[in-house]
């Protein structure tokens, strides 16, 4: 396949992932996620996907992975179609990973990967669930390929008065090189709040939290296969 990049044609191929591609795959995902909302998903591991559990595609240029698209088959124990407003029995698949090396972003590789992925999933049928966050380019891409917004929820960093775990304010190093944690009254506590994160389904309920300092919108799309 060819795509234009800065006036130059870039040649790449899309093929099935193979185990010997692991290091290049991990590097591509890490670089792609580094400046995205998915930083916390950068790991040194890759989920094993077989023909029975999903589809794993890569875009290859000069023997290096520059793009990734993976989908995982879901069963009724993992996700209920009715939860998404879909008819009972609808076959569900989720887009687990879509990532493009930052040197090759915004030139159509993600769209090409999604097109091939969708083609591979045609025989399975049903609906592809796509989870993403605030990234404008990602949301625009999913909308451009025909995905429909199913719902929006919020990931809220704040405080709930119903959370009775004490906040820790300071610590002291102990003789055995551990740490004693204390609350604002200088009482030692076994554990304390560090970061409170809440999943809020309806935006009007965010006001029930206090000290809100960050809200991330989760966008969930459905794409018919």
* pLDDT tens track, the chain, 225 positions: 666 555 567 899 999 999 999 999 999 999 999 977 776 777 888 999 999 999 999 999 999 999 999 999 999 889 999 999 999 999 999 999 999 999 999 999 999 999 999 999 999 999 999 999 999 999 999 999 999 999 999 999 999 999 999 989 999 999 999 999 999 999 999 999 888 899 999 999 999 999 999 999 999 999 999
Contacts (Cβ under 8 Å, ≥6 apart) of 198 = 155, 156, 158, 160, 209
CA distance 113 to 38: 19
Which residues 6+ apart lie within 8 Å of 5 measured at CB?
A: 104, 107
In terms of phi and psi (left: phi > 0; alpha: psi -120 to 50; beta: otherwise), the region of 108 is left
pLDDT at 194: 82
Domain 2-155+217-224 has CATH 3.40.50.1110: no
Domains of the chain, by residue range, sit at 2-155+217-224, 156-216
Q: pTM value?
A: 0.86
């Amino acid at each position: 396949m060819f795509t234009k990049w800065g006036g130059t044609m870039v040649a790449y191929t899309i093929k099935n992932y193979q185990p010997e591609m692991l290091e290049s795959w991990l590097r591509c995902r890490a670089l792609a996620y580094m400046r995205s909302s998915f930083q916390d998903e950068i790991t040194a591991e890759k989920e094993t996907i077989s023909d029975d559990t999903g589809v794993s595609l890569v875009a290859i240029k000069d023997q290096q992975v520059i793009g990734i698209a993976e989908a995982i088959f879901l069963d009724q124990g993992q996700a209920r179609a009715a939860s998404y407003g879909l008819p009972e029995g609808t076959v569900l698949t989720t887009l687990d990973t879509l990532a493009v090396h930052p040197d090759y972003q915004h030139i159509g590789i993600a769209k090409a990967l999604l097109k091939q992925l969708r083609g591979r999933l045609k025989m399975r049928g049903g609906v592809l669930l796509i989870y993403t966050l605030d990234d404008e380019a990602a949301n625009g891409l999913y909308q451009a390929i025909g995905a429909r917004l199913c719902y929006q929820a919020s990931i809220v960093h704040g405080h709930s008065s119903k959370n009775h775990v004490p906040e820790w304010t300071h610590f002291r190093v102990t003789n055995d090189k551990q740490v004693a944690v204390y609350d604002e009254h200088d009482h030692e506590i076994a554990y304390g709040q560090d970061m409170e994160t809440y999943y809020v389904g309806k935006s009007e309920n965010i006001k029930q939290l206090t000290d809100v300092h960050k809200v991330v919108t989760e966008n969930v799309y459905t794409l018919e296969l």
